[in-house]
Amino acid sequence: MPLKTYERPYLRKLNAGLGNKFGTRNSQVPVTEIDGVPVAKLMEEYGSPCFVLSEQTIRQTYRNAVRAFSTRYPKVQMAWSYKTNYLNAVCRIFHDEGSWAEVVSIFEYRKALANGVPGTQILFNGPDKSEDDLRTAVQHGSLIHIDHLDEVYLLSEILASEGLKARVALRINMDTGVYPLWDRFGFNYENGSAWTAVTKVMAQPRMELVGLHCHIGTYMLSAQAYAVASHKLCDLADEIRKQYQRRIEYLDLGGGFASGNTLKGSYLQGSDVIPTMDDYAEAITSTILQHPFAMSGEIPTLYLESGRALIDDAGYLLGSVLALKRLGDGRRATIMDFGVNLLFTSFWYEHRISPAQEYSSHHEDMVLYGPLCMNIDVVRENVSLPLLKRGDRVVVHRVGAYNMTQWMQFIQMRPNVVLIDRQGQVHLIRRRETVDTLNEMELTPLHLELGQGKPA
């Protein structure tokens, strides 16, 4: 007689008030392939853990966003938010689709140049722009989004010494009815700092104020907040038109659009509560188009710096089970080969995790730990998964944003990142780190060199 398929024995107490398992099959449905490529094959070839990006999903998501805005508004320009994911292959897909670059450091700036983005199509944001950084940006004719008054003065000195002019925008922060307020970047609208900054910049003969920029927050669940922000930016632009007879050429509404991930503490699933790209687009474009500023002359170009909403869905993290154990209180704990070192976003998301092989309908609640010998390394505090065993594979969804930039080289090294192209071909786009990768950066003082005699 052939042996029966084994599933480890399981016992679950039936408690009142804990809901039920019926209909929650989707946490059990195995994800065995990504864009037609078997997960098992990816992990055999590229190891575990391993990040996977789908070019198909990136392009589809991008085109959907462009469609949402450009069917409502005639002049729309996307600028890829480098900090969200600055792997060159990823950036180049966005640039290939027509996206400019939005950078917040000279490091990202140089990446953008190397990715073939003309200097005039780079938006330079952020509080950290040194004298050298600004000089580089000025020389390349980039759009400089000014964050604070010190930057106005510094830039003014550079322009004078170089004998050049710069096209600049002001970063504005404001109350959009969404809290907490993001008032640390740029100039505050309500308390008049924004207007002060306008007068300072307008007084600089070498600065041309061409744009107004805001970025009202992150993972915004209210599309209405963008309507408020658009309105305030238009008000400011209109005031500049009236006072200085200068026409603001573009409004940059930043990003902050939510992805389908579920925030910690949210009762409902992220994908059930987030606005769609069309909701955001409608709020922004209808506000601008109906504002007296837009009606008073040529309508401003709309710039968008969406990052998360454009790349999150395209990223997957593949990993496997290292071990199972019981905690002191009887809870099941599962240790994975990936943790917060790779999934920085697990600090604020409850990432969806799917098994990559078939199971029965039984499932159990568990804590999901990463591999680090550190107490902070918790991927999910409570998740219901099938009866996993050592070596089983899982797929973590929606990890495309921020993880491949905020990952830590801590205890473990960073793994391979692959891209599946539209033909289903797999390309390695970032090699896994090795001990040499890290040692290469280090220097040993002569007296600590091995074989150089005992230290004194």
- Any contact of residue 6 with other proteins (CB under 8 A)? yes
Residue 19 touches other proteins, criterion: CB under 8 A:
yes
What span, in angstroms and rounded, lies between the C-alpha atoms of 148 and 146? 6
Residue 55 CB, nearest distance to other proteins (Å)? 25
Nearer to other proteins, 246 or 362 (CB): 362
Q: Report residue 353 as tokens.
A: 């995790």
Shortest distance in whole angstroms from residue 113 CB to other proteins = 40
Applying the rule CB under 8 A, the residues between 254 and 293 that interact with other proteins are: 267-269, 271-273
Q: Give whole-number Cα distances, 169 to 53, 102, 143, 166, 211, in Å.
A: 33, 13, 7, 10, 4
DSSP state for residue 190 in the 8-state scheme: T
The number of residues that bind other proteins (CB under 8 A) is 40
Alpha helices for 76-204 (secondary structure H): 88-96, 106-114, 131-139, 149-162, 193-202
Inter-residue contact 377 to 339 (CB < 8 Å)? yes
Cα end-to-end distance, the chain, whole Å: 73
**Does position 451 bind other proteins by CB under 8 A?**
no
With CB under 8 A as the contact rule, which of the stretches 3-11, 239-247, 310-318, 447-455 interacts with other proteins? 3-11
Query: Measured between alpha carbons, how far is 398 from 354 in angstroms, rounded to an integer?
Result: 12
| Cβ at position 247, least distance to other proteins in Å | 34
CB of 395 to other proteins, least distance (A): 16
154 near other proteins (CB under 8 A): no
Nearer to other proteins, 60 or 224 (CB): 224
Q: Which stretch binds other proteins (CB under 8 A): 19-27, 71-79, 286-294, 335-343?
A: 19-27
* Residue ranges in 372-401 that form contacts with other proteins under rule CB under 8 A: 387, 389-390
Which lies closer to other proteins via its Cβ, residue 13 or residue 454? 13
If one asks whether residue 27 binds other proteins (CB under 8 A), the answer comes out as yes
Nearest CB to other proteins, comparing residues 17 and 297: 17
Measured CA distances, 432 to 45, 138, 153, 351 (Å):
12, 36, 43, 23
Using the minimum distance from each CB to other proteins, give the nearer residue, 49 or 386: 386
Nearest in space to 201 (alpha carbons), one of 232, 231, 171:
171
- Whole-number minimum distance, CB 204 to other proteins, in Å? 35
**Whole-number minimum distance, CB 189 to other proteins, in Å?**
17
Length of the chain: 456
Question: Footprint of other proteins on residues 180-219 (CB under 8 A)?
Answer: 180
The minimum distance between CB 131 and other proteins, in angstroms, equals: 36
> What is the chain's Cα-based Rg?
25
145, 124 Cβ separation under 8 angstroms: yes
When binding is defined by CB under 8 A, the residue of 23, 445, 453, 455 that contacts other proteins is 23
Number of Cα atoms under 13 Å in the Cβ half of residue 156: 13
Comparing CB distances to other proteins, the nearer of 78 and 225 is 225
Q: Kindly write down the DSSP assignment for every residue of 301-328, as one continuous string.
A: EEEE---HHHHGGGEEEEEEEEEEEE-T
Angle (nearest 5°) at CA 145 between 299 and 310: 75
Q: How far apart are CA 71 and CA 283, in angstroms?
A: 13
20 is a contact residue toward other proteins (CB under 8 A): yes
Q: CA–CA separation, 269 vs 260, rounded Å?
A: 8
CB of 365 to other proteins, least distance (A): 13
> Does residue 326 touch other proteins according to CB under 8 A?
yes
SS3 403: helix
| Residue 362 binds other proteins, judged by CB under 8 A | yes
* CB 262 to other proteins: min, Å: 8
- Is 328 a binder of other proteins (CB under 8 A)? no
Contact positions vs other proteins (CB under 8 A): 3-14, 16-27, 179-180, 267-269, 271-273, 324, 326, 330, 360, 362, 387, 389-390
